[in-house]
Amino acid sequence: MTEILAALLVTLGLAFFIAGSIGLLRLPDLYSRLHALTKADNVGLGLLVMGLALLTDDPFIALKLVLIWLLVMAASSASAHLIAQRARRRERGT
Amino acid sequence: MTDVVWGLLDLLLILALLALAWGSLNSRNLQRAVIYFIGFGLLLALVWVRLRAPDIALAEAAIGAGLTGALLLAALRDASHSPDHTDRPDRAWRLNPVPTLLSLGLAVALGLAYLQALEIADPQRLAVAVFSHLEQSGVSNPVTAVLLNFRAYDTLLELAVLLTALLGIMALGQARPAYAQAGPVLAGLVQWLTPLLILVSAYLLWIGAHAPGGAFQAGALLAGAGVLLRLAGFPDSHFPAALILRGMVIAGVSLFLAVGLVLMLVGRGFLDYPPAWAGGLILLIETAATLGIAATLMLAFLGGRPAAWSLDTSTTGRIQAADMVRHNTGDNP
């Protein structure tokens, strides 16, 4: 039962990653591409981590997985912000 | 079935690795080439994981992809002041035929030598030798046992190479101009990450005795914290005072040498640890080496002597540095 749930969560997470990658390739401008990427990082990785955490018996490993998710979220949102800010400044020509 | 899936994954990894290497060598835009190089380093770390070498994977991700990538991006920033330095000259065939042929020849020769070595040598021999002496090494991680005990000479010389490289960088002149003060998002992230990086670095140093980790990985993470502080543009990057930083730079080599010499004085060989003391001595050396590697990599990212190090601490150095900062704030993120 746990394994089926874990497989479902991982598959759902992968779907977000695929959608994010397609968005990165197909969306017209930088801001909407960033928007697509953050979905993969936040929700996709979150679902993946939840699925993988269900598969381990060791709560310490599950905690480490959650920590990875939190770190990736912090880093990806901060870098998305920096990239967008830089692009915005360039557009304004400052 | 599982074998087929892993085989496919390995094949994909290798193809992506080759494509990234090709892109990094041939991309016309240098910034793109650097990004390909960083991606190459991250995939190479995954390849090391697949080869069951997590120690090297950690080092490759931290040093190969992370810090080398940061160094290359900093070099690009230096070059971006002159207008057309970020693009390579447009040539239809950008691989130089002579080095390419020579490299191919070397690759074929190495491959043949490797195949021959597989036939003569028992591939398990070295591993067996390591595992049969692991108990006397003072640690239970075979990689650390080789690096800090059985082949401690090599590690000492590696640290000396790093130190020499840094002395060369310091001799080049003043540090790169500082970065502009970061906005609240980046500054907040860095303030939040720095203590975590220090903690994880200490964890990697400690765990190196019985699991993947050790001085190089721990030092690289600590240096990563330094690079982040520098990028966020905090005053003096919040680095330790000049005297402490200089002490850190020589800590690894000098403590390593001191341990070796003291062991000679008490009548043992150079770096021939008594088994009862080996664990403690290795931890001591690794702690000093972590600090040394971290300080070396941080200063290498600065690209020269920090302003606080110049002999005339009074005015000129500071004014120059301030001028350079002002000159440079325009194109900072």
Which pLDDT score, from 0 to 100, does residue B43 have? 95
Please report whether residue B82 resides in a domain: no
* B180 compared with A60, residue with greater pLDDT: A60
In angstroms, the separation between the Cα of residue B186 and the nearest Cα of chain A is: 6
Nearest residue in chain B measured CA to CA from A74: B189
Confidence of residue B317 (pLDDT cuts 50, 70, 90): very low
Subunit contact A75:B185, Cβ cutoff 8 A: no
Specify if B112 maps to a domain. Answer: no
Q: Is residue B48 part of a domain?
A: no
3-class secondary structure per residue, B106-137: HHHHHHHHHHHHHHHCCCCHHHHHHHHCHHHH
Domain count, chain B: 1
Task: Summarize the confidence of residues B89-93 as an average pLDDT.
Answer: 56
Residues of B in contact with A88 (CB under 8 A): none
Residue B74 lies in a domain: no
Q: Which two tokens stand for residue A13?
A: 């997470």
Alpha helices (runs of H) in chain B, residue ranges in sequence order? 2-26, 30-50, 54-59, 68-79, 97-120, 125-132, 142-145, 152-171, 184-207, 215-231, 242-265, 275-302, 316-328
Q: How far does the CA of residue A70 sit from the closest CA of chain B (Å)?
A: 12
Find tokens 């304004």 and name the residue. A92
Which of these, B180, B196, B199, lies nearest to B332 by C-alpha position? B180
The residue of chain A nearest to residue B332, with distances taken between CA atoms, is A86
Which residue, among B80, B181, B189, would best test binding to A if mutated, counting the most A CBs under 10 Å from its CB?
A: B189
Q: Residue B91: pLDDT band by 50, 70, 90 thresholds?
A: low
Please classify residue B97 by burial: count the beta carbons closer than 10 Å to its beta carbon, then call 0-12 exposed, 13-18 middle and 19+ buried. exposed
Nearest-CB residue to A82 (from B193, B196, B333)? B333
Q: Please, which residues bridge with residue B29 across strands?
A: B87
Q: What is the pLDDT, as a whole number, of residue B94?
A: 64
Rounded to two decimals, the ipTM of the complex is 0.84
Q: Residue B83 has what pLDDT? A: 56
Expressed as residue numbers, the domain containing B185 is 142-333
* Domain residue ranges in chain A: 2-92
Any idea of the CA torsion for A22, A72, B179, A92, to the nearest 10 degrees?
40
User: Which chain A residues are Cβ-neighbours of B333 within 8 angstroms?
Assistant: 82, 85-86
In terms of residues, how long is chain A?
94
Using CA atoms, how far apart are residues B176 and B73, in angstroms rounded to an integer? 13
pLDDT, tens only, B29-46: 888 999 999 999 999 999
- Is residue B42 in a domain? no
Quick check: B193 pLDDT over 60? Answer: yes
Distance CA B193, CA B228 (A): 9
Query: Considering only A74-88, B87-101, B129-143, B213-227, which range has the smallest mean pLDDT?
Result: B87-101
pLDDT band for B310, please (50, 70, 90 cuts): low
Show residues of chain B in contact with A74, CB under 8 Å: 189, 192-193
CB contact under 8 A, B186 and A78: yes
Per-residue pLDDT at B266 exceeds 50: yes
In a domain, B179, yes or no: yes
Flag whether pLDDT at B330 surpasses 60: no
In a domain? residue B4: no
> What pTM does this model have?
0.82
Residue B159, pLDDT > 90, answer yes
Whether B332 shows a pLDDT value over 70: the answer reads no
Q: Quote the tokens at residue B116.
A: 């021959």
In a domain, B146, yes or no: yes
Among chain B residues, the shortest Cα distance to A83 is held by B333
Q: What's the pLDDT band for B97 if we cut at 50, 70, 90?
A: confident
* Mean pLDDT for chain B overall: 85
Task: Find the DSSP H helices in B121-214.
Answer: 125-132, 142-145, 152-171, 184-207
pLDDT at B133 (0 to 100)? 85
Give which of A60, A85, A92, A94 to mutate to test B binding, by max B Cβ within 10 Å.
A85
**10-residue averages of pLDDT along chain A (94 residues):** 91 92 90 86 90 91 92 90 89 76
* Structure tokens belonging to residue A46: 């979150």
Among B60-69, B85-94, B265-274, the minimum mean pLDDT is found in B85-94
